[in-house]
Amino acid sequence: MQSPRLGGGEGREALFSRRRNWAVGGDMALFGSLGKKLEIVSADDALPGRLARMPIPTTHVITGEPLEADFTGFGQIMVAMGCFWGVERKFWEAPGVISTSVGYVNGITPNPTYEEVCTGRTGHTEAVRAIFDLSVTNYEAMLTLFWENHDPTQGMRQGNDAGTQYRSGLYYYDDKQKNLVLASRDAYQKKLTAAGFGEITTEICEVPEYYFAEEYHQQYLAKNPNGYCSLAGTGVSCPIGLATD
């Protein structure tokens, strides 16, 4: 399926090639050195962005539910685990998840484009927001998906994808989620250490402003089943059912 943002007959193979070039600092004239992309940009050097929000589809390709709505009564989780295409699929396939979307978070530039995020000059990381039915699943199950399906010890990269946009992040909506996040991190760190991994580098903070990514990124792997997916965990299981008192 051809991306609406890629003219001239380019398809998903071209987008894959461009993504990988950006990830390893391939277009040096436009994007600068890889070293620069491994540091969060300063406010003075960040791109200006824009006021207009990104237009998005009204419904989810898989579930038919809205991407944006009043989700009162449902659970929510916001995560960053590297390339958001595979992350979003991991969550929409999870039992109880009714809607997912991809976007850019915890940076400086308002309403950035994908191309801008890839420069490393917006400060954002690629993120996924998942909405789930609390009668079917819970936040702890979502945390397990988060920890077990990427490597949270890699800093500004996931596998071969390097840059600030690929950093690990976990963003809480309230104090209850915060307590669960911190407890799960501490418990998982013990298991990672025992397995020979380093320190967790996941950024953890209150949910930042969420800027939706372009329409063609939403449920990308549903529209392009053979598209790029770099999602890979450590092979270390995460404890669940953690006490928060």
Q: Which of 83, 205, 229, 238 is catalytic?
A: 83
Q: Could you identify the residue written with the tokens 């200006």?
A: 48
CB pairs under 8 A, 24+ apart, for 175-184? 176/244, 177/77, 177/139, 178/206, 179/244, 180/139, 180/140, 180/143, 180/242, 180/244, 181/143, 183/242, 183/243, 183/244, 184/140, 184/143, 184/147, 184/238, 184/239, 184/240, 184/242
SS3 category, 81: strand
**For residue 21, what are the CA distances in angstroms to 14, 16, 34, 107?**
10, 9, 11, 22
Is residue 83 flagged as an active site residue?
Answer: yes
Cα 141 from Cα 208, distance rounded (Å): 22
Count of beta carbons in the 10 Å neighbourhood of residue 95? 9
Q: Catalytic site residues?
A: 83
